[in-house]
Each structure stands twice: as C-alpha cells, then as structure tokens.
C-alpha cells in the first residue's frame, strides 16, 4: 500500500511532465493538424541552454526564466523560418521536416554540449517535505511548477484578447483573417508558447533523468500517447492524459519490471485507442460526406 502510494505520487510528478509536453503537442496540433515530432528535442535543447547559464554562474531561477524566454523566441523563429515555407506541402512532407528538425537539434546538442550525461540541479531542497517517505521535494516542486504553468496557460487562452485570437486562428484561419487577425503570426506565437512549455518540462525532468541529448525521446512518446488518450484536440484532455499516463507507467513498471515497461504501457494505450479512437475527451468528428 505504501509502495503503491509512492508509485502514484511519483507517477503524478512524471505525469506533470507528460502533461506539459502533451499540452504543447495539442496546441500545435489544434492550429495545424500536425504533430510536432521535434517538440522533445526543442525542450532538450532549451534545457541545455539552462544548464549552460547555470554553469556560467547565473542563479537558478534567473536562468530558468531566461531559458523560457529564449525557448519562446526559438519556437517563433523556427516556425517562421523552417515550418512556414512548407505550410502548403503534403502532410507527410511536413512530417519529414519535423523529423529533420528533430535530428538537427539532437545532433547539434551532442556536438555543442557533448554526449556525456550531465547532472542537472534542482531548485528544491533534497530533504523530503516533513520527512515523508512517499514523495521527494523535487517531485512535489515539479508538480507545483507544472500546475502553475498549466494554470497560466489556461488563463491566457481563456481571458486575454491575444489568447482569444490564437484560439480563433487555430479553429478557423479563414474567418480569423476576416476579423483582421494575422494568422501566420498567431501560429508562430503558438510555437513559441509550446517551446516555452516544453522548456519548463525539460528543466523539471532533467534532475531526475540526467541531461543528455536523448533524454526527451521516451518522454515525447509518452506525451504523444497521453495527448491521443486525452483526445488530440482537447488541451484539458491532454493534461489529464499526461497525469494518467505518468501514474500508469509507474504502476505498470513496478508490477512487471522496467524491461517491458515501455511495451506494456504502449500496448495499453493503443488498446484504449482501438476501443475509443477519439480518446477520452476528444470530439467524435462527424463529417458530412
């Protein structure tokens, strides 16, 4: 029972990471109907930037916010320069562009920062809160930061004019132009935000999994699965899906060992999709023929 509680809480911590990356994926999907396979590598690259800042002596939280800002800018630039030229190309061609981006970022990170695994600092104390044995301070802090970020994003989209414009541009670009929204820039902003969210996720998970160029690939897969589980067009679903997947991964892993953990968790998710393809909260699209 004790162990189960620990697994669940630990799972919520990783779930928060999955939820953030899943949200980033859904944001870009809603606007473009494309899954950004390079999302993980963007987060990884941003985490390396944070690491460099900390190494250079910048205090942790200053480095954190600076990294988020840089990641935002990077996202905007990538959308305008690399993604925009192929916006009318066939879907699979755009997928290849994303794969290219993934490969380039991964390789650049390895080249600039080397492939050796690096430890990454956590801003939270190493002693567990109240000396409890269920959850570390970092895990708790990670859940906290994740929730704050998700709440900010929610408030931004729901209650600000820019957030409204971005939602409109994602749902109906043609009508958005008719009210004067610069749809192209809304897309770029979406990428920027997604990159920023990914950066937060990367920085929060790095202390646990250690910093190396391939650190986000497993996470991206789980985030992808979480987004689909929640319903690929539902941001709320993606967040919930992320937490579910996090807990599932931990519990399943403790039951059957870490060897086949990846396989079994994926099988479970695929199973859900076969039963209910639109995910838990997605809209079942009825298209007129």
Partner 1 sequence: MANTRDVLSKGQLIGLAVLLAAACVLPFVVSNYRVFQLTLALVYAIALLGLNMLTGYNGQISLGHGAFYAIGAYVAAILMDKFGVPYWLTIPAAGAVCLAAGFLFGLPALRLEGLYLALATFALGVAMPQILKYKGFEHWTGGVMGIVIVKPEPPEWSGLTQDRWLYFVVLVCLVALFVVAWNLLRGRIGRAMVAIRDQPIAAQAMGVNTAMVKSLTFGVSAMYTGIAGALGAIVIQFVAPDSFTVFLSISLIVGVVVGGLASIPGAVYGALFIQFIPNVADQISKAAPWAIYGVFLLLFMYVMPTGVAGFVRIAGGRLRQRRMR
Partner 2 sequence: MGRLLDVRALQAQYGPTKVLHGMDFGVEEGGITTILGANGAGKTTTLRAVCGMVRTQGEITFAGARIDGRATESIVRLGVAHVPDGRGTFVNLSVEENLRLGAHTRRDKTEVAADFERMYGYFPRLKERRRQQAGTLSGGEQQMLAVSRALMLRPRLLLLDEPSFGLAPRIVQELFEIFRVINQADRVSMLLVEQNAAMALRLADHAYLLETGRVLISGSAEELGRDESIRRSYLGY
Binding site for partner 1 (CB under 8 A): 35, 82, 85-86, 89-90, 92-97, 99-104, 106-108, 110-111, 221, 224-225, 228, 232, 259-260, 262-263, 266-267, 269-270, 273-274, 277, 289
Span between the terminal Cα atoms of the chain, in Å: 53
CB 211 within 8 A of CB 122: no
Q: What angle do the packed helices 217-230 and 261-275 form, to 10 degrees?
A: 20
From partner 2, partner 1, none, which one binds at residue 151 (CB under 5 to 8 Å depending on kind)?
none
Q: How far is the CB of 187 from partner 2 (least distance, A)?
A: 13
From partner 2, partner 1, none, which one binds at residue 181 (CB under 5 to 8 Å depending on kind)?
partner 2
CB 63 within 8 A of CB 55: no
From partner 1, partner 2, none, which one binds at residue 82 (CB under 5 to 8 Å depending on kind)?
partner 1
From partner 2, partner 1, none, which one binds at residue 175 (CB under 5 to 8 Å depending on kind)?
partner 2
> Token pair for residue 62?
């200053």
CB atoms under 10 Å from CB of 179, counted, come to 10
Residue placing its CB nearer to partner 2 in the complex, 65 or 158: 158
With binding defined as CB under 8 A, does residue 160 bind partner 2? no
DSSP for 15-67?
A: HHHHHHHHHHHHHHHHHHS---TTHHHHHHHHHHHHHHHHHTT--HHHHHHHH
Q: Which residues bind partner 2 (CB under 8 A)?
A: 161, 164-165, 167-168, 171-172, 174-183
């Amino acid at each position: 029972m004790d162990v189960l509680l620990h697994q669940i809480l630990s799972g919520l911590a990783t779930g928060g990471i999955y939820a953030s990356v899943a949200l980033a994926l859904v944001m870009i999907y809603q606007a473009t109907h494309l899954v950004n396979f390079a999302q993980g590598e963007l987060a990884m690259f941003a985490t390396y930037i944070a690491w460099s800042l900390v190494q250079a002596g910048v205090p942790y939280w200053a480095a954190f916010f600076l990294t988020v800002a840089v990641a935002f800018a990077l996202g905007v630039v990538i959308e305008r320069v690399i993604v925009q030229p192929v916006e009318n190309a066939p879907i699979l061609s755009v997928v290849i562009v994303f794969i290219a981006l993934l490969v380039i970022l991964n390789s650049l990170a390895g080249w600039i920062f080397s492939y050796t695994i690096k430890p990454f600092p956590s801003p939270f104390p190493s002693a567990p809160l109240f000396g409890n044995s269920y959850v570390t301070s970092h895990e708790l802090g990670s859940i906290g930061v994740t929730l704050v970020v998700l709440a900010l994003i929610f408030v931004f989209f729901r209650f600000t004019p820019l957030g409204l414009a971005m939602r409109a541009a994602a749902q109906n670009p043609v009508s958005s132009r008719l009210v004067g929204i610069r749809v192209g820039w809304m897309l770029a902003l979406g990428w920027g935000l997604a990159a920023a969210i990914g950066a937060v996720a990367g920085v929060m998970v790095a202390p646990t999994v250690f910093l190396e160029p391939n650190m986000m690939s497993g996470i991206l897969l789980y985030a992808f699965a979480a987004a689909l589980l929640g319903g690929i067009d539902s941001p709320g679903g993606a967040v919930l899906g992320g937490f579910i997947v996090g807990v599932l991964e931990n519990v399943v892993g403790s039951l059957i060992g870490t060897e086949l953990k990846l396989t079994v968790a994926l099988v479970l998710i695929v199973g859900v999709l076969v039963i209910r393809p639109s995910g838990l909260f997605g809209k079942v699209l009825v298209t007129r023929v």
